[in-house]
Amino acid sequence: MKKVEHIGIAVNDFNAACSLYEKLLNTKVYKVEEVDSESVRTAFLQSGSNKIELLEALSDDSPIAKFIAKKGEGIHHIAFEVEDIKTEMARLKREGFVLLSDEPKLGADNKRVCFIHPKQANGVLIELCEAIEYPRKAKVMALNLDEQLTLFQFRNKLIIPDDLTAYFKLTDTEIDSYNQDMFTFYKFDEFKSVREDVGDYRGVPDYRNIVNTLAEHENCFVFAEYSIYVEVFAIRLYETQSNQNEIYAICGDEYKVVANSFTEFIALYRNNWSDVMI
Ligand code: ZN
Protein backbone atom coordinates (compact mmCIF):
# COMPACT_ATOMS: atom_id res chain seq x y z
CA MET A 1 0.00 0.00 0.00
CA LYS A 2 1.51 3.34 -1.00
CA LYS A 3 -0.80 5.92 0.53
CA VAL A 4 -4.42 6.96 0.95
CA GLU A 5 -5.40 7.84 -2.62
CA HIS A 6 -8.78 9.38 -1.86
CA ILE A 7 -11.78 9.31 0.45
CA GLY A 8 -15.15 8.55 -1.12
CA ILE A 9 -18.28 10.28 0.15
CA ALA A 10 -21.78 9.14 -0.79
CA VAL A 11 -24.13 12.04 -1.55
CA ASN A 12 -27.79 12.45 -2.46
CA ASP A 13 -27.64 15.72 -4.38
CA PHE A 14 -24.61 15.75 -6.66
CA ASN A 15 -24.76 19.41 -7.65
CA ALA A 16 -25.29 20.65 -4.12
CA ALA A 17 -22.48 18.45 -2.81
CA CYS A 18 -20.06 19.65 -5.53
CA SER A 19 -20.83 23.28 -4.63
CA LEU A 20 -20.49 22.61 -0.93
CA TYR A 21 -17.13 20.83 -1.21
CA GLU A 22 -15.85 23.47 -3.62
CA LYS A 23 -16.57 26.04 -0.92
CA LEU A 24 -15.24 23.89 1.88
CA LEU A 25 -11.95 23.10 0.15
CA ASN A 26 -11.76 26.38 -1.75
CA THR A 27 -11.05 24.60 -5.02
CA LYS A 28 -13.04 23.54 -8.07
CA VAL A 29 -14.12 20.05 -9.02
CA TYR A 30 -11.48 18.99 -11.55
CA LYS A 31 -13.18 15.96 -12.94
CA VAL A 32 -16.69 14.58 -13.31
CA GLU A 33 -17.04 11.03 -14.49
CA GLU A 34 -19.66 8.31 -14.69
CA VAL A 35 -18.64 4.76 -13.84
CA ASP A 36 -21.05 2.47 -15.64
CA SER A 37 -19.93 -0.68 -13.82
CA GLU A 38 -21.02 0.80 -10.46
CA SER A 39 -23.83 2.97 -11.81
CA VAL A 40 -22.41 6.08 -10.12
CA ARG A 41 -21.50 9.62 -11.03
CA THR A 42 -18.30 10.83 -9.40
CA ALA A 43 -16.64 14.19 -8.90
CA PHE A 44 -13.07 14.69 -7.74
CA LEU A 45 -11.60 17.56 -5.79
CA GLN A 46 -8.00 17.93 -4.77
CA SER A 47 -6.86 19.49 -1.50
CA GLY A 48 -3.08 19.57 -1.29
CA SER A 49 -1.97 16.03 -2.06
CA ASN A 50 -5.31 14.60 -0.95
CA LYS A 51 -8.38 13.83 -2.98
CA ILE A 52 -12.05 13.65 -2.20
CA GLU A 53 -14.41 11.67 -4.41
CA LEU A 54 -18.11 12.50 -4.27
CA LEU A 55 -20.39 9.67 -5.39
CA GLU A 56 -24.00 9.85 -6.50
CA ALA A 57 -26.11 6.84 -7.44
CA LEU A 58 -27.37 6.75 -11.03
CA SER A 59 -29.87 3.97 -10.36
CA ASP A 60 -31.64 2.38 -7.41
CA ASP A 61 -29.53 -0.76 -7.59
CA SER A 62 -26.26 1.16 -7.48
CA PRO A 63 -24.09 0.30 -4.44
CA ILE A 64 -24.27 3.99 -3.51
CA ALA A 65 -28.09 3.95 -3.47
CA LYS A 66 -28.00 0.88 -1.21
CA PHE A 67 -25.42 2.46 1.06
CA ILE A 68 -27.43 5.68 1.46
CA ALA A 69 -30.66 3.74 2.03
CA LYS A 70 -28.98 1.86 4.86
CA LYS A 71 -26.69 4.44 6.43
CA GLY A 72 -27.50 7.81 4.93
CA GLU A 73 -24.99 10.13 3.31
CA GLY A 74 -21.44 10.06 4.54
CA ILE A 75 -18.00 8.54 4.15
CA HIS A 76 -18.41 5.54 1.89
CA HIS A 77 -14.87 4.24 1.45
CA ILE A 78 -11.19 4.89 1.88
CA ALA A 79 -9.05 4.14 -1.15
CA PHE A 80 -5.41 3.09 -0.93
CA GLU A 81 -3.11 3.35 -3.87
CA VAL A 82 -1.17 0.21 -4.67
CA GLU A 83 1.69 -0.41 -7.06
CA ASP A 84 0.32 -3.63 -8.52
CA ILE A 85 -3.29 -4.41 -7.69
CA LYS A 86 -3.18 -8.10 -8.61
CA THR A 87 -0.18 -8.77 -6.37
CA GLU A 88 -1.85 -6.87 -3.54
CA MET A 89 -5.13 -8.75 -4.04
CA ALA A 90 -3.27 -12.05 -3.86
CA ARG A 91 -1.46 -10.96 -0.69
CA LEU A 92 -4.72 -9.94 1.00
CA LYS A 93 -6.41 -13.20 0.01
CA ARG A 94 -3.56 -15.09 1.64
CA GLU A 95 -4.09 -12.99 4.76
CA GLY A 96 -7.71 -14.16 4.80
CA PHE A 97 -9.50 -11.07 3.50
CA VAL A 98 -12.56 -11.50 1.30
CA LEU A 99 -12.41 -9.34 -1.78
CA LEU A 100 -15.60 -8.14 -3.40
CA SER A 101 -14.40 -9.16 -6.86
CA ASP A 102 -11.91 -11.73 -8.07
CA GLU A 103 -10.57 -9.45 -10.77
CA PRO A 104 -9.86 -5.70 -10.60
CA LYS A 105 -12.63 -3.55 -12.07
CA LEU A 106 -12.39 -0.33 -14.01
CA GLY A 107 -13.00 2.53 -11.57
CA ALA A 108 -13.15 6.29 -11.88
CA ASP A 109 -10.13 8.53 -12.46
CA ASN A 110 -8.16 6.03 -14.60
CA LYS A 111 -7.91 3.39 -11.93
CA ARG A 112 -8.15 -0.34 -11.63
CA VAL A 113 -9.97 -1.02 -8.39
CA CYS A 114 -11.01 -3.73 -5.99
CA PHE A 115 -12.91 -3.53 -2.69
CA ILE A 116 -12.57 -5.32 0.65
CA HIS A 117 -15.74 -5.96 2.57
CA PRO A 118 -16.28 -3.53 5.46
CA LYS A 119 -17.00 -6.44 7.82
CA GLN A 120 -13.33 -7.29 7.60
CA ALA A 121 -12.04 -3.79 8.19
CA ASN A 122 -13.87 -2.57 11.27
CA GLY A 123 -16.83 -1.32 9.31
CA VAL A 124 -14.84 0.58 6.68
CA LEU A 125 -15.14 -0.26 3.01
CA ILE A 126 -11.57 -0.34 1.66
CA GLU A 127 -10.76 0.29 -1.98
CA LEU A 128 -7.49 -0.70 -3.57
CA CYS A 129 -6.60 1.26 -6.65
CA GLU A 130 -3.84 1.15 -9.19
CA ALA A 131 -3.32 3.98 -11.64
CA ILE A 132 -3.69 2.97 -15.27
CA GLU A 133 -0.98 4.61 -17.27
CA TYR A 134 -2.85 5.02 -20.52
CA PRO A 135 -5.96 7.23 -20.59
CA ARG A 136 -8.91 4.92 -21.15
CA LYS A 137 -11.99 5.89 -23.10
CA ALA A 138 -14.31 7.40 -20.52
CA LYS A 139 -16.67 10.27 -19.99
CA VAL A 140 -13.90 12.36 -18.51
CA MET A 141 -14.31 16.10 -18.38
CA ALA A 142 -10.85 17.57 -18.34
CA LEU A 143 -11.76 21.17 -18.14
CA ASN A 144 -11.09 23.06 -21.34
CA LEU A 145 -13.66 25.76 -22.11
CA ASP A 146 -16.08 23.50 -23.97
CA GLU A 147 -16.07 21.08 -21.09
CA GLN A 148 -16.42 23.85 -18.52
CA LEU A 149 -19.49 25.05 -20.42
CA THR A 150 -20.91 21.55 -20.43
CA LEU A 151 -20.28 21.14 -16.73
CA PHE A 152 -21.80 24.54 -15.92
CA GLN A 153 -24.95 23.73 -17.88
CA PHE A 154 -25.21 20.26 -16.45
CA ARG A 155 -24.77 21.42 -12.87
CA ASN A 156 -27.06 24.43 -13.08
CA LYS A 157 -29.55 22.69 -15.36
CA LEU A 158 -29.54 25.89 -17.43
CA ILE A 159 -28.54 26.61 -21.01
CA ILE A 160 -26.16 29.41 -22.03
CA PRO A 161 -27.45 30.91 -25.29
CA ASP A 162 -25.33 30.53 -28.42
CA ASP A 163 -24.46 34.24 -28.72
CA LEU A 164 -23.04 34.35 -25.21
CA THR A 165 -21.22 31.04 -25.72
CA ALA A 166 -19.63 32.51 -28.84
CA TYR A 167 -18.48 35.52 -26.80
CA PHE A 168 -16.91 33.30 -24.12
CA LYS A 169 -15.10 31.37 -26.83
CA LEU A 170 -13.72 34.59 -28.30
CA THR A 171 -12.49 35.88 -24.97
CA ASP A 172 -11.03 32.49 -24.07
CA THR A 173 -8.42 33.03 -26.76
CA GLU A 174 -7.98 36.71 -25.79
CA ILE A 175 -8.78 38.02 -29.24
CA ASP A 176 -11.84 40.03 -28.49
CA SER A 177 -13.54 41.77 -25.66
CA TYR A 178 -16.14 44.46 -25.41
CA ASN A 179 -14.33 46.20 -22.55
CA GLN A 180 -14.31 49.95 -22.86
CA ASP A 181 -14.30 52.99 -20.56
CA MET A 182 -15.35 51.68 -17.17
CA PHE A 183 -17.01 48.54 -18.52
CA THR A 184 -15.52 45.14 -17.81
CA PHE A 185 -16.91 42.07 -19.52
CA TYR A 186 -16.23 38.82 -17.73
CA LYS A 187 -14.59 35.74 -19.08
CA PHE A 188 -16.38 32.47 -18.52
CA ASP A 189 -14.48 31.63 -15.32
CA GLU A 190 -15.85 34.85 -13.79
CA PHE A 191 -19.44 34.18 -14.92
CA LYS A 192 -21.30 33.73 -11.65
CA SER A 193 -24.83 33.94 -10.32
CA VAL A 194 -26.03 37.31 -9.03
CA ARG A 195 -25.84 36.00 -5.49
CA GLU A 196 -22.30 34.72 -5.90
CA ASP A 197 -21.06 37.79 -7.74
CA VAL A 198 -22.59 40.69 -5.83
CA GLY A 199 -25.10 39.22 -3.37
CA ASP A 200 -22.85 40.05 -0.39
CA TYR A 201 -21.63 43.40 -1.69
CA ARG A 202 -22.46 46.11 0.82
CA GLY A 203 -20.58 49.07 -0.59
CA VAL A 204 -22.31 51.76 -2.63
CA PRO A 205 -24.65 50.60 -3.95
CA ASP A 206 -25.60 47.90 -1.48
CA TYR A 207 -26.49 44.71 -3.35
CA ARG A 208 -27.54 42.57 -0.40
CA ASN A 209 -31.26 42.91 -1.07
CA ILE A 210 -31.16 42.11 -4.80
CA VAL A 211 -31.85 38.44 -4.06
CA ASN A 212 -35.19 39.53 -2.61
CA THR A 213 -36.20 41.96 -5.33
CA LEU A 214 -35.13 40.02 -8.43
CA ALA A 215 -37.45 37.04 -8.98
CA GLU A 216 -35.69 33.72 -9.57
CA HIS A 217 -32.34 35.43 -9.17
CA GLU A 218 -30.60 32.04 -9.10
CA ASN A 219 -31.15 31.81 -12.87
CA CYS A 220 -29.49 35.20 -13.46
CA PHE A 221 -25.74 35.38 -14.05
CA VAL A 222 -23.52 38.43 -14.14
CA PHE A 223 -21.45 38.83 -17.34
CA ALA A 224 -20.28 42.46 -17.10
CA GLU A 225 -19.91 45.31 -14.68
CA TYR A 226 -19.57 49.04 -14.79
CA SER A 227 -16.84 50.51 -12.60
CA ILE A 228 -16.51 47.99 -9.79
CA TYR A 229 -20.15 47.14 -9.19
CA VAL A 230 -21.65 50.63 -9.69
CA GLU A 231 -23.87 48.63 -12.01
CA VAL A 232 -23.71 45.01 -13.03
CA PHE A 233 -25.28 43.29 -16.03
CA ALA A 234 -26.87 39.89 -15.73
CA ILE A 235 -28.49 37.50 -18.17
CA ARG A 236 -31.42 35.23 -17.32
CA LEU A 237 -30.80 31.63 -18.36
CA TYR A 238 -33.44 28.99 -19.00
CA GLU A 239 -33.56 25.21 -18.89
CA THR A 240 -33.78 25.03 -22.67
CA GLN A 241 -32.40 27.12 -25.53
CA SER A 242 -34.62 30.22 -25.47
CA ASN A 243 -35.25 32.92 -28.07
CA GLN A 244 -35.34 35.42 -25.25
CA ASN A 245 -32.77 35.83 -22.49
CA GLU A 246 -33.50 39.01 -20.57
CA ILE A 247 -30.54 41.23 -19.80
CA TYR A 248 -30.77 43.14 -16.54
CA ALA A 249 -28.91 46.26 -15.54
CA ILE A 250 -28.69 45.99 -11.75
CA CYS A 251 -27.75 48.69 -9.29
CA GLY A 252 -28.05 47.75 -5.63
CA ASP A 253 -31.46 46.16 -5.19
CA GLU A 254 -32.90 47.88 -8.29
CA TYR A 255 -32.91 46.44 -11.74
CA LYS A 256 -34.26 47.02 -15.22
CA VAL A 257 -34.53 44.83 -18.32
CA VAL A 258 -32.37 46.65 -20.88
CA ALA A 259 -32.35 44.06 -23.68
CA ASN A 260 -33.88 40.72 -24.56
CA SER A 261 -30.73 38.93 -25.66
CA PHE A 262 -26.97 39.22 -25.35
CA THR A 263 -26.75 40.15 -29.04
CA GLU A 264 -29.28 42.94 -28.60
CA PHE A 265 -27.46 44.18 -25.52
CA ILE A 266 -24.13 44.35 -27.37
CA ALA A 267 -25.71 46.26 -30.27
CA LEU A 268 -27.16 48.84 -27.88
CA TYR A 269 -23.96 49.03 -25.90
CA ARG A 270 -21.83 49.59 -28.99
CA ASN A 271 -24.17 52.27 -30.26
CA ASN A 272 -24.15 54.21 -26.99
CA TRP A 273 -23.25 52.48 -23.77
CA SER A 274 -25.37 54.80 -21.64
CA ASP A 275 -28.44 53.18 -23.31
CA VAL A 276 -27.87 50.02 -21.32
CA MET A 277 -27.58 51.73 -17.95
CA ILE A 278 -30.49 51.86 -15.48
ZN1 ZN B 1 -13.13 5.60 -4.81
* Per-residue pLDDT tens digits for 184-212: 999 998 999 999 999 989 888 999 999 99
> What is the structure's pLDDT at 171?
86
- One domain for residues 133 and 180: no
Of the two residues 179 and 5, the one the predictor is more confident about is 5
- One domain for residues 46 and 125: yes
- One domain for residues 114 and 206: no
- One domain for residues 37 and 129: yes
- One domain for residues 71 and 163: no
* Per-residue pLDDT tens digits for 141-171: 457 888 889 889 988 989 999 999 999 998 8
Distance (Å) from CA 127 to ligand 1 centroid: 6
| Cis status of the peptide bond prior to 118, with omega within 30 of 0 | no
- One domain for residues 16 and 132: yes
**Alpha carbons 39 and 58: distance in angstroms, whole number:** 5
Tally: H helices and E strands in the chain: 8, 14
- One domain for residues 24 and 105: yes
- One domain for residues 80 and 187: no
- One domain for residues 113 and 189: no
Total structural domains in the chain?
2
- Tell me which residue range forms the domain holding 57: 3-140
- One domain for residues 104 and 201: no
* Per-residue pLDDT tens digits for 16-42: 999 999 999 999 998 888 888 789 999
Task: Tell me, yes or no, whether 148 lies in a domain.
Answer: no
DSSP assignment letter at 59: S
**Alpha carbons 252 and 232: distance in angstroms, whole number:** 9
Q: Which of 140, 169, 189 is the last residue of a domain?
A: 140
Assign residue 46 the CATH number of its domain: 3.10.180.10
Task: Tell me, yes or no, whether 146 lies in a domain.
Answer: no
> What is the structure's pLDDT at 176?
62
For helices 162-172 and 145-156, give the axis angle rounded to 10 degrees.
140
> What is the structure's pLDDT at 134?
54
Distance (Å) from CA 148 to ligand 1 centroid: 23
Q: Which of 91, 112, 140 is the last residue of a domain?
A: 140
- One domain for residues 203 and 234: yes
Distance (Å) from CA 144 to ligand 1 centroid: 24
> What is the structure's pLDDT at 136?
45
* Per-residue pLDDT tens digits for 85-116: 999 999 999 999 999 999 898 888 888 899 99
> What is the structure's pLDDT at 7?
97
Q: Which of 140, 171, 196 is the last residue of a domain?
A: 140
Distance (Å) from CA 109 to ligand 1 centroid: 9
Distance (Å) from CA 197 to ligand 1 centroid: 33
